[in-house]
Structure 1
Amino acid sequence: MPPRPPPRGGARGGGGPGGGPPRGAAPPRGSAPPPRGGTRLPLGGPPQVAGPGQVVLAAHVQTIGVRKPGYGKEGRPFSVFTNHFGAQITDNIISHYDVISPSEKVLPARLNFEIIEALQTKCAPAVFTPRCVYDGRKNLYASHELVFPNSKDPRQHEFEVYLAGPPAAGGDGAQAGASSKPYKVRLTKVAEINPEVLKGYLRGTQSHDNAVLTAITAFNVVVRMEPSLKYPFNVRSFFTDQETKDIGSGMILWRGYFQSVRPAVGRMLINIDISTGVMYKSGPLIDLCLDFLGKPGNPAFLSPQRGLPERERHRLGRFLTNIRIITANPKTGQANVRAHNPRVIKRLSTQSAKDLRFTMSDGKTQTVADYFRTAYSRPLRFPDLLCVEVGSGALLPLEVCTVIPGQIMRKQVPPEKTASVLEFATKKPEARLESIVNGLKVLEYGQSEYLRSFGLSVDASGPVKISGRVLNPPTLIYGAGSRQATVNPRNGEWNMIDKKLYKPASIQRWIVVIYERQQRFSQPAAEDMINGLRKATSDMGITGFNAQPRIEWENPQSDIITTLRRFGNEMRAAGGLPDIYVLVLPDGAADLYQQIKHFSDCQVGVATQCLRSNKCFRAKPQYYANVCLKINVKLGGINTVPDAKSVPFLADRQNPAIIIGADVIHPSPGVDNKPSFTSMVANIDPTFSRYVAISKVQKSRQEIIDDAEEMVKHCIRMHISYKVETGIEQKAAFPKRVIVFRDGVSEGQFKQVIDGEIPKIKAACAALNLPVVPKLTVVVVGKRHHVRFFPQQGQGDRSGNCPAGLVVDSDVASPAEFDFYLQSHAGLLGTSRPAHYNVLYDENGFTPDSMQQLAFALCHVYARSTRSVSIPAPVYYADIVCARAKNHFDPSLNVDLSDTESQTESGQQRSSTKTLSYYQKAFKPLAVTAQRRMYFT
């Protein structure tokens, strides 16, 4: 057997205000829900009539979020196709079994599937006919109650399953002549699932409870069982090699298919979409290593003696971790095809096979290369190359290892490969829908024995056609001096030709610092850039840029913060600090950018605008116009505001509102011991166009915002102080309504938000001792879903997508809860993704129309563009603030938030010793002068 390294000690690293109480606490069973504004539900008398694709929700039904108050009516009707297919479910009872390995050893999902497949087809086929379905972990579902022969307990039985060797004749588990150790599997019946509860939920007569959730889960396992046995899979998607793309660096893209059984209004649907999987390149491990390092055909590069840089070895080691390999027979050189018994790479060695020594059982030491030569009479072809250590501790030369095909890479895709992934994943609407329909041939629902046995059928005749509406956009107001004072966007777009900004900023002093060699960005190029900014700012109404700025060329390797501070002090001594730094950066200047933003945001609070040298060199006027949109709001200006008359919510000045966007971002996949960042962004003006932000550090991968109370208090205080200081009447300074748009929460986490965040938000509102405690509404905005809408022939926009403003709140929406899909932006590339809005809590009595109008209006106040965006501006801003939070760490501390764990010389992975408290103490707050600026634009 392959050699093992000597022990190292210890384990190896391995609307408007309305009446009625909010939703959050359901009414007691048997009682009618109190009125809550909006469309009233029937509490007696004549039944309400539902339109096509709609249901009338029974009075006793309870939900997780706000009960569906009805359906919107505003906008012009617009029918679309969607990537859903009709489904029929069984009336038969489903038996639910808990699957336990008595050893309690957690095995990979792929191996678990192999064990359960062998259990059903080889070990005890009579028990498992018809076949059961399995989720890869703990749950097995049967379309009938299983009968366990010779079992003392009819609800429980333990099997022994062999993955190798012929099955024994008779018996229920033991296999004579098996060549491997058996896996023990214990099945215990834990519940029965009655699909009738799910049908009641679809009709609006059953609450959204655990029985409904379990039934939905069971049917999802049914549709995923067969693909999970045949193809590489990842949660709800599986991937095939029928369409692939090699993007280099050891990565190949595979086309995949997402599928999910979903309850909709009045019926079950299956949501199908295409997806993309990043796979490791299969074949000889040496080839994968060389491909990753960009040295194909050059095995010598993997030799430490021939100059493999330590940095590259670390990078390669992180890439190889957890890849499954099979090994060649040392004597024959043929790969071992027992795919169910692969080895998992744990780490990369620091020495070559000819230098790496291990201790034999007799106490003697030997090199890996010598071991293979003496034990197998087969000298290594490449003894100078590194080895890998696998999970068992064995050391294997690279040349004897083969990478198994179809392995999903679960690490973050390198930034330089993002464009290649997007190019492969992006399809225009017509092509995407065609691929989805063609995917039905791969899914083979009609041929699946699992679907047949569970009485689940899918209508493969074509995608479902549903009814939607296209909302009217808000009117936008520009500033005095504009040839056209108002604009009505068309399909999510407008322009600023002959228009002045609503509130243009002004400056007195500015400085230009160029971190590019003067030979590449010369004095004439700098003057051309300055003239472009002057022309654009003048056209838009911004004043002060006609003054001659100070221009400096600086070395990007210098101390950036010290240099910028010196320039600022010199200008202050001559008359005052600069109002803005305009900085020209070279390509690939992420570290430089982080230093600049830390200086700007956390140290001095002076605005900065970074430009890439290759973008602003001889740039067109449109480029500078876009830059000026950012500059104006950074300097305290306002670009445009929605006309309150077109959005009733905004017009209600008797009930002033604060709108907060909230988000959390987590470390990249595979990155451990790094914190998550939270943010909140809130408007401080009555036009909902000027915002402030706050961000915090919290426990890694925790979705609920720990500091929600403190952050909400900060937002409301900033909102009040701005209004007081700017002379807005005292009563209007205090918000009476708080609307929170929460990003990044999955459907399974709604209850956590209701229980964990909403009480903190309400506590913040109460603790401020406002004249009136504001009424709260919380809405989750989701983008991580696979619902798509496709226009009918000839009805799409220029990109082939549905027009901006498409809203769907029936047919494919929840049958019981207040939700809707809104495609608020015009298409550019590929197929547009609508945002999914779920109202979790509502004290303000929003109707469907009023909530949909508000969300759509807020998608038009994003300051950085003259296009509507895909989610409301405060949510968009919160996402940006989270991403910029890493700039709050002083660059001199070298706080590393990336996946950069290295290996020690002994081969052990070095884990981070930094704790959450370290990151929290090192996290610098915004400078006081930056707190009022929209620094994040």
Structure 2
Amino acid sequence: MDIIKACQERCAPDVFTPPGSYDGRKNFFAARRLPLGPEDTREFDVTLETEEDAARNRSQGGKGPKIYKVKFKLVANINPEVLQRFIQGQQSQDNMVLTAITALNVVIRMAPSMRYPFNVRSFYTDQEKKDIGSGLELWRGYFQSIRPAFGRMLINVDISTATMYKPGPLIGLALDFFGRSNPNDLAPARGLPDRERLRLQRFITGIRVLTPTPDGRQITRIIKKLSPAGAGALSFKLKEGGSMTVADYFKNVIRSPLKYPEVLCVEIGTGALIPFELCTVPPGQIMRKQVPPEKTKSVLDFATKQPADRLASITAGLNVLAYGQSEYVRNFGISLTIVPANGQWNMREKCFFKPVEIPRWVLVSYETTRRFSQQAATQMMQALCESAREVGIKMQPTPIVVLGENGQGNISAQLKAAGKLVVDKYGKGPSLLVIILPEGGNETYTASKHFGDIVMGVATQCLKSSKCVHAKPQYFANVCLKINVKLGGINTVPDANSVRTLSDPQNPTIVMGADVIHPAPGSDGRPSFTALVASVDSDNAKYVADCAVQTSRQEIIEDLETMAKVCC
């Protein structure tokens, strides 16, 4: 899935517009005939590294990125009229009908499959989960399948359950597996029997772990097997001759002594040995092995629901499925229109079209600690993160927090110091600055926006303390609208069926908007201000802008031609 995503978004976006849907195996469905050349076949060289990662590796003398060869070949055309005739009872089921239904199933599963762990027809989220011990937890998931009915197509939705490896330090996972608490219990030299080591090896072989690199990044490795001894007793040959233990390597070469040098190491695909304490298990890894017999009851208790509770879970899952916001669904003409309620957009229980990720952020408050205390900050952050999760934004729930800053002080220095706290903790700068303003904090707003957006190059979101303390979920949902756009996400897009002209990739269309604002009554001699925006993407969701001044109270835009050239 990652390779296909990179191929469509980074390698050949001109070919895959609009993007197609992939089943994770060998079938790829597109809403139009892809420009693959005269023989309808084309091969692409795809890497999973971003340009930033590749440049960093080259500067450090590292190897070039791994290249994956991806070949596309046209094998069939699907006629939707065949499916239409079938559901109207005008023809029998055949391979063309089955292929059309398969294509629709792949389309509706594409968006959740790109965001969540999945298994065939089901995908899983951590919104409902349960720790069952032994290094395992259960996640609630959703099964979905398109089925033909009389005169229409239906989507069958049900709940599902998956057994996941517990995320966090690998040492913690292994200890939980054995039901122990002392990390040294994982040391062969301290009495870990070989049969127990092999039992643990069967349990965790094949899972992904994150390991640190000397430059502060983390890379994904696959566990191949476990070492027979601890890091202090395992030796490897040096290029310049001689040998060194794994523990001595980290102590003398990396300058990072191991806390548990007698504990096991994992061996990865290249044969390298990584100490347990340096490995972290990322969330969302499905255990595709048999559930231990002693855990069967726990699984059944979690999976079994009363009819009313089951329906409630399914209904909640519709917001996660978010068919109306999936670009893949829209591109194939399957749509769900969200109608504004009471003349306003309400984002409660709706997902963004393209939500962003916010792995690192910092909260800086210029309100007094009496009015905005640590408790108020915690409540506000929890409410913001919860609203972000509901609209699809993945937001780190525990940011760096700086309270009680002086709005009359050196704001640039204060924000720079806050950003450094993030760098010191994560090795990278913040993705977002959330700034709490006191009443009448206009100067602080201007200064913080300028320094954050322009000097630091970090998106900022300012909130008034009087508004965000004890605010309702709708308030934070609307804040998320602003945050998502500032970080490059897309909130909503037009329904393809209602504006076919705008969504036709063969005839790109620019949407432009213009306005003039005039000075207040009695403000003699002050100019009017003009503005123009123009769309720059096929979803009509991202815009460039230009503004100008002109004769006071003149409604016609004088420089419209010049401004249009700037925008377009």
TM class, shorter-length: 0.5 to 0.7
Q: Distance in 2 between matches of 1:326 and 1:362?
A: 29
Asked if the contact 1:232/1:238 (under 8 Å) is kept, the reply is yes
Correspondences of 1:696-775 after superposition (within 5 Å): none
- Alignment-derived partner of residue 867 in structure 1: none
1:351 matched to 2:229? The reply is: yes
- Alignment-derived partner of residue 80 in structure 2: 195
Q: Distance in 1 between matches of 2:139 and 2:244?
A: 43
Q: Deviations over 1:270-296 (max 9, x none)?
A: 110111111111111111110111013
Q: CA deviation at 1:228?
A: 0.6
- Alignment-derived partner of residue 129 in structure 1: 17
Asked if the contact 1:162/1:178 (under 8 Å) is kept, the reply is no
Q: Distance in 1 between matches of 2:179 and 2:15?
A: 53
- Alignment-derived partner of residue 155 in structure 2: 270
Asked if the contact 1:324/1:344 (under 8 Å) is kept, the reply is yes
- Alignment-derived partner of residue 328 in structure 1: 212
Correspondences of 1:465-476 after superposition (within 5 Å): none
Q: CA deviation at 1:459?
A: 9.5
Q: CA deviation at 1:204?
A: 3.2
- Alignment-derived partner of residue 245 in structure 2: 367
Which of 118, 124, 148 is equivalent to 1:239? 124
Which of 34, 40, 43 is equivalent to 1:146? 34
1:180 matched to 2:65? The reply is: yes
- Alignment-derived partner of residue 491 in structure 2: none
Sort the Cα spacing of 1:178 and 1:134 in 2 relative to 1 into closer, same or farther, 3 A.
farther
Asked if the contact 1:256/1:275 (under 8 Å) is kept, the reply is yes
Which of 90, 115, 127 is equivalent to 1:230? 115
Q: Distance in 1 between matches of 2:308 and 2:257?
A: 57
Q: Deviations over 1:663-693 (max 9, x none)?
A: xxxxxxxxxxxxxxxxxxxxxxxxxxxxxxx
- Alignment-derived partner of residue 283 in structure 1: 168
Which of 161, 178, 186 is equivalent to 1:302? 186
Asked if the contact 2:324/2:337 (under 8 Å) is kept, the reply is no
- Alignment-derived partner of residue 449 in structure 2: none
Q: CA deviation at 1:392?
A: 1.7
Correspondences of 1:594-633 after superposition (within 5 Å): none
Q: Distance in 2 between matches of 1:196 and 1:393?
A: 54
Q: Distance in 2 between matches of 1:446 and 1:248?
A: 38
1:206 matched to 2:84? The reply is: no
* SS of residue paired to 1:344: strand
Correspondences of 1:418-567 after superposition (within 5 Å): 418-457=296-335
Count residues with an aligned counterpart.
330
Q: Distance in 2 between matches of 1:449 and 1:240?
A: 20
Q: CA deviation at 1:390?
A: 1.1
Q: Deviations over 1:760-786 (max 9, x none)?
A: xxxxxxxxxxxxxxxxxxxxxxxxxxx
Q: Deviations over 1:348-402 (max 9, x none)?
A: 1111111122233345333221222232122211111111111221111111111
Correspondences of 1:792-807 after superposition (within 5 Å): none
- Alignment-derived partner of residue 406 in structure 1: 284
Asked if the contact 2:165/2:283 (under 8 Å) is kept, the reply is yes
For 2:45, give the aligned amino acid.
Answer: E
Structure 2 spans left out of the alignment, 5+ residues: 53-61, 340-568
Correspondences of 1:626-705 after superposition (within 5 Å): none
For 1:313, give the aligned amino acid.
Answer: R
Q: Distance in 2 between matches of 1:459 and 1:398?
A: 49
Q: Distance in 1 between matches of 2:289 and 2:336?
A: 35
Q: Distance in 2 between matches of 1:241 and 1:364?
A: 48
Which of 1 and 2 has higher RCO (CA within 8 Å, sep 6+)? 1
Q: CA deviation at 1:431?
A: 1.1
Q: CA deviation at 1:203?
A: 3.0
Across the aligned residues of Structure 1 and Structure 2, the Cα RMSD in angstroms comes to 2.2
Sort the Cα spacing of 1:363 and 1:446 in 2 relative to 1 into closer, same or farther, 3 A.
same
Sort the Cα spacing of 1:178 and 1:269 in 2 relative to 1 into closer, same or farther, 3 A.
farther
Q: CA deviation at 1:133?
A: 0.7
Q: TM-score if structure 1 supplies the norm length? A: 0.34
Correspondences of 1:848-867 after superposition (within 5 Å): none
1:387 matched to 2:271? The reply is: no
Q: Distance in 1 between matches of 2:270 and 2:103?
A: 36
Structure 1 spans left out of the alignment, 5+ residues: 1-112, 168-176, 462-937
Which of 238, 253, 256 is equivalent to 1:378? 256
- Alignment-derived partner of residue 317 in structure 1: 201
Q: Distance in 2 between matches of 1:275 and 1:390?
A: 32
Q: Deviations over 1:183-235 (max 9, x none)?
A: 22221111101122222332333333221221111001100000011111111
Asked if the contact 2:80/2:100 (under 8 Å) is kept, the reply is yes
* SS of residue paired to 2:77: strand
Q: Distance in 1 between matches of 2:337 and 2:91?
A: 25
* SS of residue paired to 2:259: coil
- Alignment-derived partner of residue 115 in structure 1: 3
Q: Distance in 2 between matches of 1:166 and 1:351?
A: 39
Write 1 or 2 for the structure with the bigger share of helix. Answer: 2
Asked if the contact 1:440/1:460 (under 8 Å) is kept, the reply is no
Q: Distance in 2 between matches of 1:359 and 1:222?
A: 51
* SS of residue paired to 2:48: coil
For 2:208, give the aligned amino acid.
Answer: R
Q: Distance in 2 between matches of 1:459 and 1:128?
A: 25
Q: Distance in 1 between matches of 2:338 and 2:148?
A: 18
Q: Distance in 2 between matches of 1:347 and 1:141?
A: 38
Q: Distance in 1 between matches of 2:63 and 2:265?
A: 32
Q: CA deviation at 1:458?
A: 5.8
Q: Distance in 2 between matches of 1:206 and 1:278?
A: 42
- Alignment-derived partner of residue 45 in structure 2: 160
Q: CA deviation at 1:181?
A: 3.0
Asked if the contact 1:346/1:388 (under 8 Å) is kept, the reply is yes
Asked if the contact 2:231/2:264 (under 8 Å) is kept, the reply is yes
Asked if the contact 1:164/1:179 (under 8 Å) is kept, the reply is no
Q: CA deviation at 1:260?
A: 0.7
